[in-house]
Chains A and B, each alone.
Chain A
Amino acid sequence: MERHDAIVIGGGLNGLTAAAYLARAGADVLLVERNAVLGSAAAGYEILPGFRMPRYELGTANLPARIVADLELPKYGLRLLRVDGGVSLLPDGAYHASYRDGVTHRREVARHSLKDADAWTHFRRDMLRAVAHLRATLSEPLQNPARRSLSTFRGLLARADRLAEKPTDELHDLVRFWTLSCADLLDDYFESDALKAHLAAVALAGATVGPFSPTSARFLMQAFMEETVGASGGAPATVIPLGGPQAIADALAASIVANGGGVRAEAEVTDVLIRDGKARGVALANGEEIFASAVLSDLDLKRTFLALFPWKELPKGFVERVGRFRMRGVTAKINIALDRTPDFEGVPPDCPALLGGVRLAGSMERMEKAFDDWRDRIPPRTPVIEALIPSLSDRSLAPQGKHVMSVAVHYVPEALHDGIWTSERKDELGDLVVAQLTERSPSLEERIVALETLVPPDIENEVGLTAGDFEQGEMTLDQMFFNRPMAGLAGYETPIENFYLCSGSAHPGALMPGGAGAGAAALVATALGKRG
């Protein structure tokens, strides 16, 4: 009988992170993954022999520096390349580039508006202040205000006191960042439509809100999460893992193994084994049973509880609540192999910001129309398009002189109001995206040697993300913090003893990649009596 301290179901970023932390804490941990390749949505593939690219994700990463350092990922082969923030292609042949260097960036902003170049400094300062507050909140253990205990009550009172100490205008900014729409907040700072469209497109990539939706302003903070106050005052960097996001998964796996843990691919868990209401292990598709003192699930909330458990083992009403957890896909992926370097009209070919990718958003109105289409469950007519050409900075990804282009298409619904995603409709979406890119890169179409389109249902089928939702549950305030994944069940514990959730469905979700894995691991390590 195979037995471990802990089993992690699923080899996505959070599952790998959880297993890596547990292994370092001295636990005997085994991670099992259904697919042959680790990384879930981070997995890479060859679209043509010699052309490697991330299959589902765009190819950038925003792994917290703390996790990279804690788990010594550079030692296990991870190389992170920091490049400039990318180029937004604007109507009428114009463009806006984002630079890490403050002087260069302000000069770039000044091309659109002198006033905005000044405003950039204020914007950046306010964003960093808001991010500092968010980071402080994320570093504290999550408290469920509804759980009745003296200590949570004391904690709440202390929190109320701390809030009262903040100057009201700082508090006001905080409330504005968390409640306003992206458009309203950007209007307060900037006058240039170009800059606003660019910032909104960066912020809302993959979000389930539009630029005019209240609370969409908070996504502007996300880009600044890993920025430091001391940096030179430019735009946030884009971080590209050499070898693609797959390389992060590989480094995490190497870290697990080096610390005595195990990783098993092509091992699909069909059931969580339960006795007396406690989790005891897992059953695999091949009939094997593996036992453990703690079981962690890196699957999303729905897949975890609706697929791995006999429903009768779950408390009354729980399955219905899990069913109400909102998961929605918004992003399609188009993978392209090119036989030559693409160029973009109006953008100097040596513009360093091109390494950070190219965006097509147009204007906030145009983005909002795409969001409307998404809500109406029709393929977006004006999709927000992000194209990263990782082979520009990582020559190992494509043969000499050739390239791979990784394209994320946003506001693509997982289900259509009038039917399913047939291959014709997928082709139509691919054609539309290529046509829109070709408008700014006329030779692009003839340079394409391979193209593959994946819509949210494909992503659900291949990597098991319900509805193709990369964030494993909509990141709206009613599903965040002590409401994630649901009120009364915040954090990583579940109604089943010894069974934990360590996926993005748990706090802090997409606010911090790997954060849920790290948080769950700390809890489990303590439960197992290991150093946390």
Chain B
Amino acid sequence: MRIPDSSFDAIVIGGGHNGLVAAAYLGKAGRRVLLLEASPRLGGALATDEISPDYRISTGAHLLDAMPRQIEKDLKLAKHGLRYAARRVPTIALDRDKQHIVFSTRRSDLEILRRHSAADAEAYVVHLARMKAYAALLTPLITEALPSAGMEQLRATLRKLVWSAELMGSASLESFMRQLPGSIGDLLDDVFETPLLKGALALDTLLGSREGPYAAGTTLSAVYRGGLRDASTGPRMIEGGLGAFIDALAAAAASFGVIIRTSAAVKRILIEEGAAKGIETEQGEIFEAPLVLSSAHPRATMLGMVGPRHLDAGLTKRLFHIADSGSTAKLNLALDGLPTIQGLAPVDYGARLLVAPSLQSLDEAFARFKHDDFSSDLAMEITIPSVNDAPLAPPGQHVMSIVVQYVPYEAAGGWEENRDRLIDRIVETLSIYAPDIKQRIVAGELMLPPDIERKFGLPGGNWYHGDMELDQLLMFRPAPELARYRTPLKGLYLCGTGSHPGGGISGLPGQLAARAAMKDRGRA
């Protein structure tokens, strides 16, 4: 069945933030674009929902952490309703003895760190500068499309890396070479002595990953994530939750003429003579376009919608190998008042709060996770969005959003048996810092990795469509043959978080994929 108006310049599959960003850029460049989203709602893991009447919260991701300002400006998101509840969300490590550590180099914040350890306060400033210098080596690779596969370009990039490394100076280069392949835990043990500072800094780089703090390669991941974050201005909170961010993106896309259809799952991508020609929906509708961009998981796109018969065996194998099991749960709570977090200044309730008392507690949590269990000493990232954004809850009341690290996809003995035990553990751990939390809870919703998979369409419950580890970064993301948004099929592109530079809410894969597609099309 073919319906009128079924022909477009480009079709974007998937209405998550990357799909919307790609569609908007294409639309802005004057292309006629159709965007298809399988579920009834846009946004994927970026959503604002009611967890109880009149309590609304970002049910999935809760902070905008890595989007460059340029994308916001290009797409005029402010004009389309994007408002920040907080432009700079500080990060605070919660202390059991009420001496909370703010991740900042402001004098007053360092003063508190000095109370834990004078040496650590000095070392912290040096450490931040050093991590920034390391990240600066990678930033150019992160915010731009990777150099093309041609040897000349790759050589130029590698040579540039050698040069910038040379410019770092021999002492810092030496520590860079030694530390990069190592673990973030060993690095932090080398630099600091305060257990809380080490635990929280490690959690900051491990959130969403399946590695423990002492796993080799975690320093590299930390540097990479730092580079990704440095490309933006750090975590921000959106007024109305991340659902409102999606609304603004959708409005921007629509203003550029993008046609958006929800509840329109793509059954297959139409291929003729090795080139994408359009798509067919589950309902049997056919839409044609010379450009098809998919923000779905690379495996779902290439094996599900394209099919292995169009791919060579090596690529099929690599797609199966993409490692993407989740490691976090999300607990959303409705509270009848602001809980008292002991020792936390009133202005800091709107911050991003980290619970990770030490590297040992993180490592223990990881050991449990590895064997399909969870720790009694949980590591968490907490926000109370209603502090910055009162309308999310009834007057005087609040919502709290908690990401719990190291929760396995499958629990030994099954989740049926363990779900309540996990909720109890989370609330118990929270009570250490906020003794009145239990009395405040009026409603709550726990999402385990399988729930995240089902609800947001993220395989394994992994946020990133594939772990952010070296073997799945840069020119290996999501697979060497697919690393530059292009696929072996002419006209088909990947534009989701599974593509370079990957996860965090950056919009960069969408932007860079749209650019790559238009560049090729312009040439053709």
Please tell me which stretch of A51-59, A94-102, A163-171 contacts chain B, meaning at least 4 of its Cβ atoms lie within 8 angstroms of it. Answer: A163-171
B305 lies within 8 A of chain A by Cβ: no
Contact (Cβ within 8 A) B170 A213: no
Inside 8 A of A365's CB, which chain B residues have their CB?
371
Contact with A along B463-500 (1 / 0, CB 8 A): 00000011100011001110100000000000000000
Contact (Cβ within 8 A) B151 A156: no
Inside 8 A of B161's CB, which chain A residues have their CB?
160
Inside 8 A of B175's CB, which chain A residues have their CB?
487
Q: Which of A164, A179, A212, A368 has the most CB of B within 10 A?
A: A164
Contact (Cβ within 8 A) A168 B178: no
**Nearest B residue to A146 by beta-carbon distance?**
B174
**Nearest A residue to B181 by beta-carbon distance?**
A477
Q: Which of B162, B171, B479 has the most CB of A within 10 A?
A: B162
Q: Which of B151, B171, B216 has the most CB of A within 10 A?
A: B216
B177 lies within 8 A of chain A by Cβ: yes
Contact (Cβ within 8 A) A478 B181: yes
Inside 8 A of A486's CB, which chain B residues have their CB?
178
Inside 8 A of A214's CB, which chain B residues have their CB?
211, 215-218, 469
A441 lies within 8 A of chain B by Cβ: no
Inside 8 A of A478's CB, which chain B residues have their CB?
178-179, 181-182, 186, 216
Inside 8 A of B177's CB, which chain A residues have their CB?
145-146, 482-483, 487
Contact (Cβ within 8 A) B370 A368: yes
Inside 8 A of A184's CB, which chain B residues have their CB?
323
**Nearest B residue to A326 by beta-carbon distance?**
B186
**Nearest B residue to A483 by beta-carbon distance?**
B178
Contact (Cβ within 8 A) B370 A212: yes
A176 lies within 8 A of chain B by Cβ: yes
Interface residues of A, count at CB 8 A: 40
Q: In the complex, A169 Cα to B315 Cα: how many Å? A: 9
Q: How far is the CB of A107 from chain B (nearest CB, A)?
A: 24
Main secondary structure of the interface of A (DSSP, over half): helix
Q: Which of B165, B173, B174, B370 has the most CB of A within 10 A?
A: B174
Q: In the complex, A437 Cα to B273 Cα: how many Å? A: 61
A394 lies within 8 A of chain B by Cβ: no
Q: In the complex, A85 Cα to B154 Cα: how many Å? A: 42
Q: How far is the CB of A422 from chain B (nearest CB, A)?
A: 26
A477/B471 contact (C-beta < 8 A), A153-B166, A369-B371 known: no
Inside 8 A of B159's CB, which chain A residues have their CB?
157, 160-161
Inside 8 A of A212's CB, which chain B residues have their CB?
370
Within 8 A of A (CB), among B155-177: 155, 158-159, 161-162, 165-166, 170-171, 173-175, 177
Q: In the complex, A372 Cα to B174 Cα: how many Å? A: 31
A257 lies within 8 A of chain B by Cβ: no
Inside 8 A of A168's CB, which chain B residues have their CB?
149, 475-476, 480-481, 483
Inside 8 A of A180's CB, which chain B residues have their CB?
471
Contact with B along A75-111 (1 / 0, CB 8 A): 0000000000000000000000000000000000000
- What are 22 A-B contacts with C-beta separation under 8 Å? A146-B170, A146-B177, A160-B158, A164-B151, A172-B475, A172-B480, A180-B471, A188-B321, A212-B370, A213-B215, A214-B211, A214-B217, A214-B218, A214-B469, A215-B216, A215-B217, A324-B190, A368-B370, A478-B179, A478-B181, A478-B216, A482-B177
With A171-B475, A324-B190 known, 17 other A-B pairs at CB within 8 A are A145-B177, A146-B170, A153-B166, A163-B158, A164-B155, A165-B151, A168-B149, A168-B475, A169-B481, A179-B470, A188-B321, A212-B370, A214-B216, A365-B371, A372-B367, A476-B182, A478-B181
